[in-house]
């Protein structure tokens, strides 16, 4: 029988989140329609406005996006088609690895058509939406998609490990502990540590799926940033650049961790900060060009991003030192 934990949620805040979720679903429907009938402005708004804002929001608090994400709402809606059951720890681990693979397949695919072809992107988003609904029908609450398979989840966990602001939970007014461990909505700052498990106490964290993802992400971002949009025929070179960069990054991070004997939490914090800084380094020229900004916007965006992420890193490392003293 499911374990039910009633969470303390202010009814007024819950109503605001409900409105936010409704707006999210409506916005998703409008986006799919626009990608088919008015693809160019829809692509510009998505890739040059909405998506670049997401990593920044994760550093502030991943609760913002998780509270209104339309795919999350569809995942929860899928529970109505049940009977949904709780995931086992083994299933959660396997589906989580599938989510990491999905991330490394979908992001490079932006260069192969998703950045430039509205109908193709609409089809891909619709397919992911159907997977979210099906996951909700198969597994309890949002455990399978939002807390395991979602390709955005690893980035939420990496950037959201030390939120800059406290945000009231946007979902799950009651909790059945549908996710064996590492639920970012319930565990908040502890989610990443729970996900790593015992290996977080030593160098073995670099052998866990999330540890590999964190160490490889900086190079993956560099690889993505160095290749242009191309046709599907360029898939081998695009994936070679991104996955090759990821492999090189992992090797470098592993060597640095071994040389410095850095703790897992500190090393992952540095990986998160470096990844975020690199993302906005490459995103700045794209944003400036697509939004018609003046050239000085490029260094301005980079400076603001690096400054904000540096503040996040210092805060994260300070919390880690405080936690070590308490132990």
Which domain does 251 fall in, by range?
5-326
Number of domains in the chain: 1
Q: For the chain, which residues score pLDDT lower than 50?
A: 1-2, 5-6, 325-327
Minimal CA–CA distance to 180: which of 90, 252, 266, 250? 90
* Tokens 């052998």, residue located: 207
Closest CA to 54 of 32, 41, 71, 78: 71
pLDDT at site 82: 77
Residue 9: predicted pLDDT: 60
Copy the structure tokens of residue 109: 């695919």
Give residue 164's pLDDT: 83
Give the per-residue pLDDT at 217.
98
Residue-level pLDDT at 325: 47
Predicted pLDDT at 2 = 46
Contacts of 268 (CB under 8 A, 6+ apart): 158, 161, 192, 205, 211, 214
What is the pLDDT, as a whole number, of residue 198? 66
Neighbour tally for 90: CB within 10 Å? 9
The pLDDT, as a whole number, for residue 233 is: 87
Query: What is the rounded CA–CA span in Å between residue 26 and residue 254?
Result: 44
CB atoms within 10 A of CB 195: 23
């Amino acid at each position: 029988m499911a374990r039910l934990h009633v969470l303390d949620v202010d009814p007024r805040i819950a109503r605001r989140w409900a409105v936010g979720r409704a707006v999210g679903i409506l916005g998703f429907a409008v986006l799919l329609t626009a990608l088919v009938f008015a693809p160019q402005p829809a692509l510009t708004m998505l890739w040059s406005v909405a998506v670049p804002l997401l990593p920044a929001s994760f550093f502030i608090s991943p609760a913002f996006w998780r509270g209104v994400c339309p795919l999350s709402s569809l995942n929860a809606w899928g529970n109505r088609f049940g009977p949904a059951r709780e995931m086992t720890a083994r299933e959660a681990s396997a589906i989580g690895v599938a989510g990491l693979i999905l991330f490394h397949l979908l992001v490079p695919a932006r260069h192969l058509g998703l950045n430039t072809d509205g109908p193709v992107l609409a089809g891909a988003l619709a397919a992911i939406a159907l997977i979210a609904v099906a996951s909700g029908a198969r597994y309890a609450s949002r455990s399978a998609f939002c807390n395991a398979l979602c390709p955005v989840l690893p980035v939420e966990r990496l950037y959201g490990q030390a939120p800059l602001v406290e945000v009231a939970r946007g979902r799950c007014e009651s909790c059945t502990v549908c996710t064996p461990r590492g639920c970012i909505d319930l565990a908040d700052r502890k989610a990443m540590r729970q996900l790593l498990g015992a290996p977080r106490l030593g160098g073995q964290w670099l052998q866990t799926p999330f540890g590999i993802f964190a160490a490889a992400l900086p190079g993956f971002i560099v690889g993505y940033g160095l290749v242009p949009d191309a046709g599907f025929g360029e898939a081998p070179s695009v994936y070679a650049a991104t996955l090759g960069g990821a492999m090189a990054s992992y090797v470098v991070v592993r060597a640095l961790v071994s040389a410095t004997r850095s703790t897992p939490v500190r090393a992952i914090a540095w990986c998160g900060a470096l990844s975020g800084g690199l993302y906005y380094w490459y995103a700045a020229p794209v944003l400036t060009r697509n939004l018609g900004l003046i050239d000085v916007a490029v260094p301005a965006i980079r400076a603001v991003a690096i400054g904000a992420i540096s503040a996040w890193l210092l805060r994260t490392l300070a919390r880690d030192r405080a936690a070590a003293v308490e132990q």
